[in-house]
Structure 1
Amino acid sequence: MTLTSLQRSQLAATLAAVALVAGAGGYYLAGSRNGAPAAGTPATPRKPLYYYDPMVPQEHYDNPDSLSSMGMKTIPKYADATSGQTAKPGVTVDPSAMQSLGIRLATATTGTLAGTLDVTGAIDFNQRDVAVIQSRATGFIQRVYGRAPGDIIRAGAPIADVLVPELGGAQNEYEAVRKTGDPSLIAAARQRLRLIGIPGGVAGGRGMTTIRSPIGGVIQTLDARAGVTLAPGQTLAQVNGLGTVWLNAAVPEVRASAVQVGQTATADLAGFPGERFTGRVIAILPTTQADSRTLTVRIELRNPGGRLRPGMFATVHLGGTSDTALLVPTEAVIRTGKRTLVMLADGKGRFRPAEVRIGREASGQTEILAGLAAGEKVVASGQFLLDSEASLTGIAARPITGDTN
């Protein structure tokens, strides 16, 4: 843990405010009043081994009035009061000083950790609901209907009127065949009209046909312009449906196991306060975002009336089952970057760091996967001061696989 100069000064001042006396395997933070020894400490003064600054413990001084290289007043270091006994390593704090140091304890307990995962997401188009509108034959656009990208249209809305020279001959052929009354010939002539692009196989005007959108939605692209010559297969427009939309949620990769295809999800949007939208997870994309270390979870939402618009921001609640786990307050967890620690308390004023492996977090609680047992007490407030003292004095953290005693 890295401390600023101000934090170093505050820490040293705090440590200097309470007498540091030798404890078994660590330092004893013993509070005193008016120079009198604290309860439980020997009345006869002991001779210190040397004087030192907790911020630079490797520097030793003989004079109690010495200043360390950091300019801080030194404090005494005493011999081990329990020499010859088997002692537990740790930092010992006089109970009378715990309140002034802001130390608060919590117990590791077995409880229920809600499986709900709250993440953020954004509304996007349903890319499976797309219609590409193309020309079926060579022709010329005679008329357009004032459409533009971004317009919302209904199913069957006209896009352009197209003159198709080939259509005139096909229509004449259909009329001639229809007069014969031969069902097979009539069906063949009608099929030819369908292939040219006449819906239902019947044209209303000689050589002229209207190209329409097969679905309702928003126009994404529009290339229909009056006078343009069309080739078979040329795209006039692309329409994206709005009946359903996708909600792309960013789920941290460490919580990937909490999400499954098919599970229920709900969303809250700022544009609709007090209203909750329910959907279903339809896909978990196979790639991870390298910058945010998140997975994209795709949720499909119904969109009656087209109220949900792509680009809207949402808070996503991914439902799950509630599991039993060993829990400690999240504030008790110390993340150093290389490992995760908690400060153990033995109930007698002695504290020792312990390495743990953590799991999920929810509602201010963190799951402990290894390193703690139910009933053990940890420091929930003031643990950084104790961890700093333990680090400075070389007290090793209890390993996950080590002895818990």
Structure 2
Amino acid sequence: MRREAMKKESRAPWRPSGEDPLEVLRAAQALVSRGEEDKPPSSEASSEGVGELRDCGGRRKRLGSRHFWGGVVLLLLLLGGGIAYRYREELSRAWSGVTRRRGAEAPRSAAKTIYYCPMHPEYKSERPGECPICGMTLVPLDSPSEGATHEHPGEAAEGTFPPGTVRISPLKQQLIGVAYGEVMFGPVIHAIRTVGKVTYDETKIARIHPKIEGWIERVHVDYVGKFVRKGQPLVEIYSPELVATQQEYLLALRAKEMLGRSSYREIASAADSLYEASKKRLELWDIPEEDIRRIHQRGQPSRTLTLYAPVGGFVLARNAFERQRVTPETELYVIADLSTVWVLADIYEYEVPMVRVGQAATMTTPAFPGKVFRGRVTYIYPQVDNVTRTVKIRLEFPNPGFTLKPDMYANVQVHVHYGQRLWVPEGAVLDSGEEQIVFVAHEGGYFEPRRVRVGPKVGDRYIILEGVRAGERIVTSGAFLIDSESRLKSALQGVGHAEHGRAPARGESKASPQRLPGHSGHEP
């Protein structure tokens, strides 16, 4: 009976009391030590006494063991509670991080993987393989801006920008070579560059013919290329008709002197008329007033008539030799004034609307490197060359010192002034043929595609009529790759819209439909 009671007592669960654990441990240790010291007194004792002593010792050992391990457990619990209280904040943060990772990975694993073609984003498949259009290997669908929405709390959300806006990380920008510029507002001057050829000013070329028939007695200008001044004698011509006319003039002069004092007014008037007619005839033969006065003073006709240069310049052609018979059809000299020269240049058809008569132009020549000649446009020819598809323009340049020679080649620039205009670099505009796009850069690596209306191209710049404002930061290099990224994202957004309409997966509520990662702007 006593053994059964001790067994029941040893099997009963231990309950903590209000005793000090250390005191319990000490008492248990003392009991164990005391039990080891208690040994049977002798072999002659009765079996009943020995059995009672064994039962008592076993009971004490079990009781001490329960108190010992209970104290150990209580001490470990107190130690663990103190450690947990000391590091409670770190454990809380670690647990919340594990919870967020599990929550982020759960929708991703639950969503169905969709594959698409990088070259044809409109083609999508639920199985890996090859694109039937180009044969390219399909890749899993992944948003280009995944994880970027909340990466920087101070930046604007992607949903606040217009459709097509894409975010590119700084590392990716460096890899694709993105460069930035600004929309500028200022004077725009375009220089049309072309080549030209120097030629004579056709309005300053003189062709000299005699007005009487006769023979050349003397030649004063006897070679081509000679420079002559205006009024310089060229040739002397003997003409019997000229001598007769001079004699008529002298007779009319004497008649005027004799009959001019007559009392008959009609006779005096006739004498004056004959004198004026004879003198006028000499003037029409290009006899200078000084020579006529000399004939008047001398009272005798001159044997030869001297022809003088009507303009100053260079002799281009000569057909005057001594003892040569000449008529009014004979061209004796061709003289060109080179104080101004013409330059004939060719421009393309699309440049014709930019050129106006009177526009300023500059010219350089290989013969005089570094020297700039300044002139203006004087004429635009009305026809297009059917071979070169160019239009010829004429420019006029002053030629002091006769530096420019006819038939010289020259490099010409016609300056077109557009005034104060809005412009961007050429590399900033993406022209697809149907529309022109400029990417505007925002804070946080966001790039917004902006449709613009482009004016004429001026060198390496485009005039912008509308679409952007002065001072906006734009992409000047790498815009093509950004455009590809933007178009790919638009295609992926189309896939995201399709995902909104699918049936919810297991464990997914209908109230919160699954989204593609990174597309925070798709609200149901």
Secondary structure (helix, strand or coil) at the match of 1:380 reads strand
3-state secondary structure, aligned to 2:203? coil
Letter in 2 for 1:168: V
Q: Deviations over 1:164-195 (max 9, x none)?
A: 33112123334445566749565543332232
TM-score (norm. length: structure 2): 0.52
Change in 2 beyond 3 A, CA 1:162/1:388:
farther
Amino acid of the structure 2 residue aligned with 1:287? P
Aligned residue for 1:39?
A: none
The answer (yes or no) to whether the contact 1:266–1:317 under 8 Å persists in 2 is yes
SS in 2 for 1:215: coil
Match of 2:180 among 98, 102, 105: 105
Indicate if the aligned counterparts of 1:253 and 1:295 stay in contact, CA closer than 8 A: no
CA change 1:131–1:361 in 2 (3 A) is same
Structure 2 counterpart of 1:135: 210
Secondary structure of the structure 2 residue equivalent to 1:323 = strand
Aligned length, in residue pairs: 345
Q: What pairs with 1:268-283 in structure 2 (closer than 5 Å)?
A: 268-279=364-375, 281=376, 283=378
Decide whether aligned partners of structure 1 residues 312 and 104 sit closer, same or farther in structure 2, where only a CA change above 3 A counts: same
**Structure 1 pair 366–105 and aligned structure 2 pair: CA distance change class (3 A):** same
Structure 2 CA distance for aligned equivalents of residues 126 and 51 of structure 1: 71
Distance 1:261 1:335 in 2: 32
Within a 5 Å distance, the mapping from 1:274-293 to structure 2 comes to 274-279=370-375, 281=376, 283-285=378-380, 287=382, 289=384, 291=388
Q: Could you tell me how far apart the structure 1 residues matched to 2:325 and 2:246 are?
A: 21
TM superposition shift of 1:66 = 4.4
Measured on the aligned residues, the alpha-carbon RMSD in Å equals 4.5
The equivalent position to 1:358 in structure 2, one of 434, 439, 455, is 455
What is the deviation of 1:216? 1.6
In structure 2, relative to structure 1, the CA distance for the partners of 1:168 and 1:258 (3 Å cut) is same
Structure-1 residue corresponding to 2:328 = 232
The answer as to whether partners of 1:137 and 1:197 remain within 8 angstroms in 2 is: no
Secondary structure, aligned partner of 2:164: coil
Is the CA contact 1:51–1:63 (under 8 Å) kept in the aligned structure 2? no
Instruction: Report the equivalent of 2:169.
Output: 94
Q: Which residue of 1 aligns with 2:469?
A: 373
1:328 shift after superposition:
1.6
Partner Cα distance (1:52, 1:232) in 2: 89
Identity %: 26
Q: CA shift at 1:369, angstroms?
A: 1.1
Picking from 199, 203, 212, the partner of 2:308 is 212
Pair 372,195 (structure 1): closer, same or farther in 2 beyond 3 Å: same
Larger radius of gyration: 2
1:244 deviates by 1.9
Corresponding residue SS for 1:128: helix
1:103 to 1:176, Cα distance in 2 relative to 1, 3 A: same
Q: Following the alignment from structure 1 to structure 2, what is the Cα–Cα distance between the partners of residues 287 and 278?
A: 24
* Matching residue within 267, 275, 287 for 1:198: 287
Calculate the TM-score normalised by the size of structure 1: 0.65
**2:241 corresponds to which of 136, 153, 166:** 166
- Aligned partners of 2:182 and 2:471 also within 8 Å: yes
Distance 1:360 1:52, change over 3 A: closer
User: Which one has a larger percent helix, Structure 1 or Structure 2?
Assistant: 2
Counterpart amino acid of residue 287 in structure 2:
I
C-alpha distance in structure 2 between counterparts of 1:343 and 1:130, whole Å: 59
Post-superposition Cα deviations, 1:44-102, rounded to whole Å, max 9, x if no partner, equal 57764224242x556667775748876755544447989xx897125553332111001
341 and 154 in structure 1: CA distance in 2 versus 1, 3 angstrom threshold: farther
Change over 3 Å in CA distance of 1:373–1:295 after alignment to 2: farther
Structure 1 position 106, deviation (Å): 2.3
